Each structure stands twice: as C-alpha cells, then as structure tokens.
Chain A
Amino acid sequence: MNLSAIRIIAQKELTDSSRDRRAMYALVFSTLVGPLLIGFMLNQIAGQEKAAHEIKVPVVGAQYSPLLINWLKQQPGVEVVTGPADPEAAVRDRKSDFVVVVEKDFAEKFRDTRPAPVQLYSDSTRQNTRAKVRRIRSLLNRFNSEIAGLRLIARGVSPSIASALKLEEVEVSNAAQRAATIFNIIPMFLILAAFSTGMQIATDSTAGERERGSLEPLLLNPVPRWQLVTGKWLAATLAALAGMVITLVITAKVLSSLPLEDLGVRYHLGQHEILLLVLTIAPIAMMAPAIQMYLACFAKSFKEAQSYMGFLVFAVTIPGVLSSFYPINNQPWLHPIPILGQYAASMDILAGKPPSMVGMIVSAAASVAMVGLFLGLATKLLSAEKIIFGR
C-alpha cells in the first residue's frame, strides 16, 4: 500500500498553517498564557512571603530609643526608615502598611524599668498587610521578653519563671499549600495547549476546505479518504504536540526562575518530569485533533467550526477546575477515561510520585482508541455527498 499521500497532505497542511498569521498568534498566545499565569500567581505568593520577611519599619520618634531601634536593625530582613508625620492618616490612606511610634518619655520610663510606651498603627481590614503586621508585632514582643529576661537575670531570677506557657504556633494554611494548588493547574494548561494549538489545522483542513470550495477538487485525487483524513490529522497532531512541549518547557523555565524552595514547595519540574509529562499527555495531543476534525466536518465554515471548538475547550477545563475543589486522587478507574486519567497521572508526576506504568498504558490505549473512532467517523463524513457538496 502506498502511504506517501499521508505525508504529502500533512506537509501541505503544515506549510499552509505556518503561513497563517492567525494560527501563529494563536500558537504563541496559547503556549505563553498558561506558564505566565502560573508564574505570576506563584510569584505573588512568594512576594507576599518575602514581604513579610523583609520589612521596612517606619518609626516615628526613633531618637527617643536608640536601643530599640538598634535591636530592630539587627534583626534579619528588617530595615528601619523614618516614619510619616501623621502616622494615623498615613496608615488609613494606605501610604504606610503600619507605623511604629516611640513616645517622648520612652527613655525615661525605660530607665526607671516602667513599661515604656510604643504605639503600633495598623489597619486590620487590609488583608495583604497582615503578614507584615504580624511580623512586627512578634518582633516587638520578642524585644519585650528579651529585655524582661535580662532584667530578671540582673536580679538573680530565672526568666523562665515569667513564662507560664511555651506557645508554638503552627500555621496550617501556608504558602506551600497555596503554591501546590497552583501546581495542580499545570496539567490543565498542558492539555489546553494540546487542544488549542492543533485546533487551527484541524478546523482549517476540514471546515476551511468546505468553506473555500477546495474540498471537492481535493477529493478528486485518487487518494483513499482515510489517508486524506490521516494526513490532515497527522499535521494537526504534530502542531498539538509542539504546542504542548513548548508550554511545558516554558513552564519549567518560569518555575526555575522562581524561589520555589522558599515557599516550601515539594513539586519539581526537571528533565525527568518533563519527559514523563510529555509521554503522559501525548495521547491527548493525538486525540484532540481527531475529535476537533470530526466536529469541524459538520461545520460549513471556519467560524462555525470555531464555535464548536469553544464548547470542547470548556469541557476540557472542567476536570482542572474541579480538581482545585476536590483533589483528584489517582485511582485505577480514572485511567481509561481520557483527560481525567492523564490529569491524575500528571499530578502524581508533578508531586514526584512514580506514575503507574499500567495506568499510563491504559490511559494511552483509551485515547488512541478514541483517535481511531473519530478518524473513522470523519472519514465517513468526508465521503458523504451532503458534506462534500453541501454549502
């Protein structure tokens, strides 16, 4: 059997598509948007964490207590700056996140070992400054207990007498967890990239051919329909694979430029994980164009086809959205379900668990079966007189 027609058709579709500016913009957009969004969100979390560790402390009346100021300056990540003239207004107007005010009689009261007055201005309704306010409060508390301890030692008393409790706070909702939820959407963006980059060729080579009236002359060539369909599918699949791999590589690059260790993230995206993810999601990149081509065969124009594709993309994102509410645990019954199976396996790979070989093979086989089914259906459609001549 002569199969060179498949290659000729795939080559033509790829050349044609590479000259399509709209297709190229779509490729760039769909491969960039996911990684950049993930990077942006992780960066936000890292930024908030870092902001709490490296704080600027605006102090009014620093001259009244060089001791406190010097102690603050010695703490890691703390920078003392001159505070605003009107601390209350500055915090209310959001010019300052918080302000520390040392009162005039601080030195005198401190010398007399009476409580020395310090005011901390903050706005508890502001979510994004809470971490910083918490930090400065704990710094001031530490200064308080250190000085108190020294005073007790000077009087021959153990400082532990003054501590009835040893309180250790364990924060459960931490940055690492928030970062982990963001990692969970990486598989969704990979699957979306496969769907969106193959789509241009899948629709242009079916609905587009009908719209231009080029389908009839094409079908007049002595090439079996299934080879025609396979050639077009091959071109779309190569584009989808490229889109997926580019998305993955950009994601890895973005992640490697972020201080993930500081967030306590245990996810890792190295070469090994990239390879495993490509193997896991490749069947999706094969399946997506087949489904898209089948659907697009019904459409009389490129635009009509694209409106069908919208629904498809929406359906694809459902597992991704659901997983951020209900974590998907990799269970055997998920494997044969296309997209869900790959989704669960991708989460395992990202979490550093070795994926189940049997599961991957079952997932891949199910998706490849879908390819066969939809290419068969598309072949049937492209032989139907209603599709060939209906305009």
Chain B
Amino acid sequence: MIQAENLRKSFGTVYAVNGVSFTAPDGVVTGLLGPNGAGKTTSLRMVYGLMRPDSGTIRVDDCDVVADPVGAQRKLGVLSDMSGLYPRLTSREHIRYFGQLQGVPADELEKRMEKLIEIIDLKSIADRRAGGFSHGERTKVALARALVHNPQNILLDEPTNGLDVMSTRAVREVIRHLKSENRCVVFSSHVMQEVSALCDRIVVIARGRVVAEGSAGELIELSGKTTLEDAFVVLAGPQGEAE
C-alpha cells in the first residue's frame, strides 16, 4: 500500500507538484492520469525516494520514504521514466544484477528469474545482449529487473509509452497478473484507453494537483459527460482551473 499526502516539489519558482495526495491500496491498480507536464513523473520520483519532497509525507507499507528511502526501495518495484539497459549485458544478466543488488538469495534468484522470463515472455531474448533490442524488448527487460525482488508495491511510469501492440499486451498481462497476486500497482499514463482498460481507481492530476479521483464511471458522472475522454478534458483542462 502506498499513501502520499500533500506532496509539494518546486524547481526554482515553479511548483511541479503542488499538493498531491493519493492512496493506492493492495490488490488494486491505481492509475495516475494527467496530461504531459502535470506532475505525474515528479510525484512518482518522490514516492520511490530519489527526489525529496519540499513538504508532505509518503508511506510505502509501514515505511516512511523521506526518512528511509533505502528501506522503501526494498518494498518497491519501479519501472521509471528512464529505464536504460546496459548494451553489453544479456537480459538474464540484467535481471540477475538487480536481483543481487536487492539481496535476493542466489537459488531463489534463479527460480524467480525463470518465472519472470516466462511471465513477461522474454524467452527469445533471454541470452541476447541488450545492444540491439527494440523499445518493446527493452521495456520488458526493465520490467523484469524491476520485479526480480518480488516487491509488494509496483510503480510503473508510462510503461506502455511508444510500445507496439504486442508489447503493450504483454505489459498489460503482467499488470493483471500482479493485481491477481494482491499487489499494489500504481500506473501513470496520459493515454485514456490504457487507464480505462487497466485501472480500478483513477487519480487525475493536472497542474501539479489532484483534480479528481474515483473509478472510470464515477469520473464520468462527476464531469457530467458520457465518455472518459470528455470527462478527462473537463477535469484536467483549463476550465478545471477556473473552478
């Protein structure tokens, strides 16, 4: 479970995040939906402890992220905005490297790795070096290494951005699988279809604030429109600011 309360972060005089609060319970896929530059990525960076909030608190399970980021990182699996690979290492080596750094015992690590290769469908590229991978293949490997320590909480920052249909489906499958294991999944996107297809709860972020929260149906009702896209435009658009 992830609880973020009243997060604020400024760069110079501009507030990128200005009062974001949300709760992501276990067994639920929570979507952070918002236009580009709304503060989704900055919010997530604070949750996974690489960025320090100016104010506000974040808890991952029972761990205070600001006070103990390393402790929180043990409980988190993160597919971040930048998820570069090492071109001279194979997929297996990437997964093993991160597993070792997470302190996963050797025999368990090998078992876990084989399972991930199975779930994420990496068999064909498991022993190939990452140098020639496509964007989709890179994302899948990055996802596998983020999950190698079996984290209870998973943060995915625009995981399907720029992926082809096959890779998008694979990522969706993994997210559903994680949900079925009663994990807490937080998923950010600016793509309506992605969010509505996967998420149980949607947090709409715009201009550094949470502007609405609820299931897809609740958001449509709230906005008085008939589709989620229209609802999103109403909630996240400039009119929202005037309210």
Contact = CB atoms under 8 A, between A and B. Distances in A.
B84 A221 contact: no
Interface string B78-98: 101111111111000100011
A213 B81 CA distance: 9
B50 A385 contact: yes
B156 to A, nearest CB: 13
Contacts of A223: 70, 101
Interface string B54-94: 00000000000000001101101010111111111100010
B51 interface: yes
A331 interface: no
Interface stretch (A1-9, A97-105, A259-267): A1-9
Given A217-B78, A222-B71, A212 B85 contact: yes
B84 A212 contact: yes
Interface residues of B, number: 32
B33 interface: no
Interface string A1-26: 01011001100100110011000000
A220 B88 contact: no
A220 B145 CA distance: 11
Contacts of A20: 88
A224 interface: yes
A146 interface: no
B39 to A, nearest CB: 14
B80 to A, nearest CB: 5
A4 B102 CA distance: 11
A8 B73 contact: no
B129 to A, nearest CB: 8
A213 B83 contact: yes
Nearest to B77: A220
A389 B50 CA distance: 9
B48 interface: yes
B146 interface: yes
Given A212-B84, A385-B50, A385-B51, A220 B142 contact: no
Nearest to A20: B88
B52 to A, nearest CB: 7
A216 interface: yes
B45 interface: yes
Nearest to A388: B50
SS of A interface (majority): helix
B100 interface: yes
B217 interface: no
Given A5-B101, A212-B84, A16 B73 contact: no
A218 B81 CA distance: 13
B175 to A, nearest CB: 18
B103 interface: yes
Contacts of A221: 73, 98, 101-102
A214 interface: yes
Contacts of A8: 97, 100-101
Contacts of B146: 217, 220
Please indicate which of the listed interface residues B71, B84, B145 has the most CB atoms of chain A within 10 Å of its own CB.
B84
A391 B84 CA distance: 13
A219 interface: yes
A2 B103 CA distance: 10
16 contacts: A5-B101, A12-B93, A20-B88, A212-B84, A213-B82, A213-B84, A214-B82, A214-B85, A214-B86, A216-B83, A217-B80, A220-B78, A222-B70, A222-B71, A222-B103, A389-B51
Given A2-B103, A215-B82, A217-B98, 19 more contacts: A4-B100, A15-B93, A16-B86, A212-B87, A216-B82, A217-B142, A217-B145, A219-B50, A220-B73, A220-B78, A220-B80, A221-B98, A221-B102, A222-B70, A222-B73, A222-B101, A223-B101, A385-B52, A391-B82
Listed from nearest, the 6 A-B pairs whose CB atoms lie closest are A213-B84, A213-B82, A212-B84, A214-B84, A221-B101, A19-B88
